[in-house]
């Protein structure tokens, strides 16, 4: 069977020290690698506020692990995480290969993302009159018989 790409997100209890959080992360990475999977990326997001209270906790330490493995591996991870007292929540989803790529810069009308907030005047253009089309806009055709 071929390996599939997955993302594992889990939230640990906020009262765990850094060493214990690292050991929890290492434990699940070891499970992934020992069952034939491969860890592609691991991000520790740190302590964040929860959307709602879980087991009396208002905060948790978020961790995201992207890995390749067989579907049986995800079932085993899910089984082990359900009984782990150090975790508040976990979720495993199948990921797309694009989740490993860095995000592409956003471009709007041929301008880089840095220019998004710039106005026409800041760019050296005169402000246009309302109703005047922008240079790359073409007039919208109207149905026959209607006046615009």
pTM of model > 0.85: no
DSSP E strands: which ranges in the chain?
A: 4-12, 38-54, 57-69, 87-94, 107-108, 111-112
Task: Kindly state the percentage of the chain with pLDDT values over 70.
Answer: 69
Domain boundaries, the chain: 4-95
**Cα-Cα-Cα-Cα dihedral of 44, 45, 50, 54, to 10°?**
0
At 74-129, the pLDDT tens digits run 999 999 999 999 999 999 999 887 766 776 777 666 665 555 555 544 455 555 55
Spatial separation of the C-alpha atoms in residues 10 and 101, rounded to whole Å: 21
- Number of C-beta neighbours around residue 1 at 10 A: 7
Spatial separation of the C-alpha atoms in residues 97 and 80, rounded to whole Å: 26
At 1-16, the pLDDT tens digits run 688 999 999 999 999 9
- CATH code for the part of the protein at 4-95: 3.30.70.60
């Amino acid at each position: 069977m071929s390996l599939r790409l997955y993302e594992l997100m889990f939230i640990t209890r906020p009262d765990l020290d850094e060493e214990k959080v690292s050991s929890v992360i290492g434990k699940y990475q070891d499970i992934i690698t020992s069952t034939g999977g491969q860890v592609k990326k691991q991000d520790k997001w740190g302590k964040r506020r929860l959307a709602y209270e879980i087991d009396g906790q208002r905060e948790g330490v978020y961790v995201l692990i992207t890995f390749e493995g067989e579907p049986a591996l995800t079932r085993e991870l899910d089984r082990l995480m359900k009984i782990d007292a150090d975790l508040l929540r976990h979720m495993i989803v199948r990921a797309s290969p694009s989740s490993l790529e860095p995000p592409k810069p956003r471009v709007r009308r041929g301008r880089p993302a840095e220019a998004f907030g710039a106005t026409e005047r800041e760019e050296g253009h005169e402000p246009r009159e309302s109703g005047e089309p922008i240079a790359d806009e073409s007039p919208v055709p109207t149905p026959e018989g209607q006046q615009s």
